A and B are shown apart, each in its own frame.
Chain A
């Protein structure tokens, strides 16, 4: 893969992380970067040592987008723990993102990348 995205996979806290997120983005757009950094920021705040973020570029892996029935990007899927949760957008509001993917982190306002 040659996405050149900032990080294709971040695995904080080793492979035994409690939270596994799959983030679908489309190419290297500013919107993709914002979504990646906002999600990463939230995870570092909320569950610093127990998360894994897998970034998938739908332009390179449309088959994975197909398999997961993804329509809109950026889109994050919480794979672990179940049940699966989804959020769409560039996640410019960390509190709302936290609620959407069921992560509770304090003091996340006004620090989003936008």
Chain B
């Protein structure tokens, strides 16, 4: 064997799925065949359509779609609802159907040996007359199950796959599988016949559908492994959710912004960072939505575009709340510096919510975003989906250099942490705690900055009140301990020296 230093350079073809391109670090190898396998309803046809449409739209590549299951009319119709104008592409010659659907009206009996030369000739004809470089066959199974002879079926699969390679097109072959896990092949050979294998899954976990995509095999291409969440949206098709900007390469800003509350700016040594992810945690009624209102108003009333995603309260409620705190959200929305999206969490899957948030951000280009609350979203999802959602959301927000404030509802009224917190705390730059404090027979409220990355901050627990002009943060609780655990008690009574000791470490009376 002669060793060569030359590494074959693999030219990659973008797949029409930006998320998948990220997983494949650029796309699929040119000129190869890729098997896309999945159970019924896992999105194989949409995947194939989108691959072709992506080529037409973004890369001037013509496409041939070999349909074996749904008629071209039905494909056109479905495509339309997803936002793919196939008829238009057909008219300008960039999309060609090869109709290999089964017509039950025509009897076709098998007498002896045959092969798929005619189908291959038709595909080649479509490819050469249109100069197509992308081909999809949907689906291999529908084509092959018409013929009983397993030996012929296997041989013909190989013939079709080889013919596609010989045509130098980059092709996708879809195929059904019976189960979500286990055997890939239905005919025992599909995964060997194709160069690459992608698996689409549509599993039922905790009564929720969870779609994923996995790259099982991609010859010669370094790719990310594991299952990635997928969603199917009208107007967009199949969306593969990955971590935008590949997680931690987002730039860190040192620019501070007004939090909406002067006292909070002071506690944070000059305001929150422009690209920071902040979490507010507190029991119900502690003032989380109020803090959101202050945060959004702090930007919107200064001409910064702010976006609220409300999953607990309706628009009308938000307007009323704001008015009660002396803020005019109606005027801000009219002025174009505020946009409110209110939707019940149950209306969409978590993946769809994430895409909706991303779309709204892309469309509206806000500098601030508030999400109220994460706990409401957590309610509709499995633990794993929620974790992926949070990672996806926070990396997206960081990448766009947007200041964000998200709320989480603590499970107990006094003290306690929320489940949401446990997932998100490491992803946040700032955590604010709002707590009920029971003292001397009355309920008071405490405000603390628990964590602030990249800056010093006031570590004391401040008392705050709510009045007709919003949140008023007052001085710190003195001589009280145990607020965070939900059982405050006066330390002055227990040890008169403690306050003196604490003041020794608190000489400047504020920031440290």
- Judge if B113 is at the interface, Cβ distance under 8 Å: yes
Annotate A22-33 by CB proximity to B: 1 below 8 A, 0 otherwise: 001011000100
Q: Which residues of A contact B99 (CB under 8 A)?
A: 69
Assuming the contacts A58-B121, A59-B121, A65-B122, asked whether A26 and B109 have C-beta atoms less than 8 A apart, the reply is no
Cα distance A34–B147 when bound, in Å?
20
Assuming the contacts A86-B106, A86-B107, asked whether A65 and B121 have C-beta atoms less than 8 A apart, the reply is yes
Cα distance A36–B121 when bound, in Å?
19
Q: Which residues of A contact B116 (CB under 8 A)?
A: 71-73
Cα distance A24–B110 when bound, in Å?
14
Cβ contact within 8 Å between A26 and B121 = yes
Cβ contact within 8 Å between B109 and A71 = no
The minimal Cβ–Cβ distance linking A66 to chain B, given in whole angstroms, is 5
- For chain B, the bracket of interface size reads 20 to 34
Among residues of B, the one whose C-beta sits closest to the C-beta of A57 is: B121
Q: Which of A48-92 contact B (CB under 8 A)?
A: 58-59, 62-63, 65-66, 69-75, 84-92
The minimal Cβ–Cβ distance linking B130 to chain A, given in whole angstroms, is 13
- Judge if A93 is at the interface, Cβ distance under 8 Å: yes
- Judge if B30 is at the interface, Cβ distance under 8 Å: no
Partner of A100, one of B111, B113, B122: B111
Cβ contact within 8 Å between A72 and B115 = yes
Cβ contact within 8 Å between A62 and B117 = no
Cα distance A63–B121 when bound, in Å?
9
Q: Which of B115-132 contact A (CB under 8 A)?
A: 115-119, 121-122, 124-126
Q: Which residues of A contact B (CB under 8 A)?
A: 24, 26-27, 31, 34-35, 58-59, 62-63, 65-66, 69-75, 84-93, 96-97, 99-100
Q: List 29 A-B contacts (CB under 8 A).
A: A35-B112, A58-B121, A59-B121, A62-B124, A65-B121, A65-B122, A66-B98, A70-B118, A70-B119, A71-B118, A72-B115, A72-B116, A72-B117, A73-B115, A73-B116, A73-B118, A86-B108, A87-B110, A88-B109, A88-B110, A88-B111, A89-B113, A90-B113, A90-B114, A92-B111, A96-B111, A99-B109, A100-B109, A100-B111
Known: A66-B126, A73-B115. 17 other contacts (CB 8 A): A26-B115, A26-B117, A59-B121, A69-B99, A69-B103, A70-B118, A71-B143, A72-B114, A72-B147, A73-B118, A85-B107, A86-B108, A92-B111, A92-B112, A99-B109, A100-B107, A100-B111
